Structure 1
Amino acid sequence: MDILQFLPYLIACAGVATLITLSIIDLRVWLLPNWLNLTLGILGIAFHASTQFALLEPVQLLYGAAVGAGILISIRFFGNMYYKQDTLGLGDVKLLGAAGLWLGAEGVVIALTIGAFAGLFHGIGFALVRALKEKSKPNFHRLMFPAGPGFCVGILLACLWEFYPYFAN
């Protein structure tokens, strides 16, 4: 068997490791490092190149990056206007841009949707744990928590859904 046949699997594993690392860092310091977002994007391009673009064409990757980053920058813009403070970090914007290089436009919207629900559950859990620690009622108003881990879950699940047919063969 040729080593190149295993390359997509190795790159996918590196992508998963990058998502896990991004999640851990965001949970600890509320930051998604640029170099890890860039790594995720490069791995996405390398993954598709290693499959000879069997799943998505190069232009679809670019559309995906634009859609992912574009949706998040819009949410950030309107959220910041409404709340008059930062509501979403630029690292999250870059994360969804990098995810678009893996998933294309349709896939990144699916990842964003799943990630938003994962973030909702994460936020509720975050508020409940805080309330237990402070021995108070949970406060869901203006709740702040890192969004990256939820988005990483969404990206991972969307990748599993989108790439399963390729890996199953």
Structure 2
Amino acid sequence: MTTVITIACLCSTLYLLGVLTYIDLKYRLLPNPYVAGVFVMGITFQITTNFHFVSPIDIIGGMIAGGGLLFFVRYIANRAYNQDTLGLGDVKLMGAAGIWLGVEHIFLAISLGAFAGLVHGILYAHTTSKKTGENIPLTTLSIPAGPGFIFGIIAVGIFKFYTLPLYLGL
């Protein structure tokens, strides 16, 4: 039974991350109920795997590290630019992802996510400038951060949980 619950948690989280990507791209918003779902699925997943992938202390550390680092970045960037630069939804999402990934891997997910966001921004600016004929300065470009972070979460998750089928005996 725990195998079914474990797989359901993983599939549900992937679905929630897909929904969050769509909503963030369309509305620039990461709704709390969906982020809370990632949180709950992460706790349930770790319990059903008997903390095989992430220890309880690493779960707490990952949650604090993921959410705390982004909260710190948000605070500094908001002060530097005098505007909202990173939403609290992104902060909460990376806190929830820390439950899944632990301390070490949440930093990798944030780094990959930031790089994916950079690539997304450059491609968006390039295609928009091709369509409109106007040059879009990257200093004023605004894109949602969630999809990049979600890319980082999934990429690191694939690496972290590649032994899950062996653990579950599949």
Give the TM-score category using the shorter length.
over 0.9
Partner residue in 1 for 2:19:
21
Query: SS in structure 2 opposite 1:32?
Result: coil
Partner residue in 2 for 1:90:
88
- After superposition, what is the alpha-carbon deviation per residue over 1:40-80, rounded to whole angstroms, capped at 9, x for unaligned? 01101111111111111222111100000010011101101
TM-score normalised to structure 2 length: 0.94
Q: Map 1:12-91 to 2 at 5 A.
A: 12-91=10-89
1:167 Cα deviation after fit: 2.7
Partner residue in 1 for 2:4:
6
Query: SS in structure 2 opposite 1:141?
Result: coil
Tell me, yes or no, if the aligned pair for 1:69 and 1:96 is still in contact at 8 Å.
yes
Partner residue in 2 for 1:109:
107
Q: Map 1:127-138 to 2 at 5 A.
A: 127-138=125-136
Letter in 1 for 2:28: W
Stretches of structure 1 that go unaligned for 5 or more consecutive residues are none
Query: SS in structure 1 opposite 2:50?
Result: coil
Distance 2:64 2:100 in 1: 12
Partner residue in 2 for 1:153:
151
- After superposition, what is the alpha-carbon deviation per residue over 1:78-126, rounded to whole angstroms, capped at 9, x for unaligned? 1011111111001000010000011111111110011011111111111
- After superposition, what is the alpha-carbon deviation per residue over 1:18-60, rounded to whole angstroms, capped at 9, x for unaligned? 1111000000000000111111011011111111111112221
Aligned length: 167
Tell me, yes or no, if the aligned pair for 1:131 and 1:139 is still in contact at 8 Å.
no
TM-score normalised to structure 1 length: 0.94
Stretches of structure 2 that go unaligned for 5 or more consecutive residues are none
Query: SS in structure 2 opposite 1:6?
Result: helix
Larger displacement relative to structure 2 (52-61 or 144-153): 52-61
Letter in 2 for 1:60: D
1:120 aligned onto 2:118: yes
Percent identity, aligned pairs only, is: 39
Tell me, yes or no, if the aligned pair for 1:23 and 1:149 is still in contact at 8 Å.
yes
